[in-house]
Amino acid sequence: MLSERDIIDVIKRSLGAPSSFEDAEELKGGAVCTTDMVLDFDDFPKGTKPYYKGWTAVCSSVSDLAAAGAKPLGVVASWAIPRRMGRREIAEIARGMRDCAKAAKTRVIGGDVNESERLILCTAAAGDKRRASRSGAKPGDIIAVTGRLGASAAGWLALKKGLRGHTAVKNKFMKPPVRINEMQKIVGYVDAATDLSDGLLIGIYNICEESRCGAEITGVPIDNGVEAVARALRKTPFDLACIGSDYELLLAIPKQKIAEAKKRTRLYEIGVFTKGKGVRMNGKVLQRRGFQHFQ
């Protein structure tokens, strides 16, 4: 079976697409566009409330705009809906979409509806222009993140495995943060950026590969409640930080600018970009891993 990266490579080559092929790419004229998809049978454990499905559907797209440093212009949403779904559930999904878009200072302005055996929500978001990409990191840049990690994966696993309690991490999974405002406060200080929807290591590797550099992780800020879930599942908090769905931003910021950037928004320093290739922590090379389809 082809991996997700293999499939993307086939699509890129067949389309004659740009080598970067980032989650958010520029249109003619400079505007930025991105799209993302969430599936009821993949992204949401049984029992996830409809409101949070709508929130996450929009968050997945506007998070890519945040990483590009773009100000959102609008969101469109395509719905593939099971015939049995009722008015109340549809309305709740729409309210979640509306509220997430509002948090990103934009609106859901249109879309399409079709029929499916299970719910699929596909959103596309447009932004004014790119102010950051994955390709600008330099050796010596500080690696920073906009929040503590691991809670969303911990919440997803707790719901999936039927673990009782763990309310805080379950809430983090169901309503991930929107970091548009945070990025706009510091985008002038940022050399490179990506979001962490696919996990910490995939995010770092994406920047390293596009920027042709390496990275050294010195520490990872773990969110409250993550350790308890990790212990219950015989994993480490770092494992959960690498699974994804946190929707925090991973940033490369020059050392001389990090202090000023931290005055403008909360940031956690987790390491430094280096010369060479690969990602290391405690002297060991870490392999690229995280959330990938077709595994």
Residue 56 identity (one-letter amino acid): T
Per-residue model confidence as pLDDT tens digits over 119-164: 999 999 999 999 999 999 999 999 999 999 999 999 999 999 999 9
Write down the residue that tokens 């994804």 correspond to: 244
pLDDT in tens, 5-36: 788 788 888 988 776 666 788 888 899 999 99
Among the listed residues 85, 95, 77, 75, the one whose alpha carbon sits nearest the alpha carbon of residue 116: 85
Given a cut of 80, whether residue 198 has pLDDT beyond it is yes
Q: Give the separation between CA 58 and CA 108, rounded to whole angstroms.
A: 9
Beta 108-115 vs 72-81: how paired, if at all?
parallel
- Where does the pLDDT of residue 229 fall: very low under 50, low under 70, confident under 90, or very high at 90 and above? very high
Domains of the chain and any CATH numbers:
4-127 (3.30.1330.10), 142-286 (3.90.650.10)
CB atoms within 10 A of CB 281: 17
Percentage, residues of the chain above pLDDT 70: 97
**Torsion over CA: 139, 292, 294, 119 (sign):** negative
Max Cα-Cα span within the chain: 57
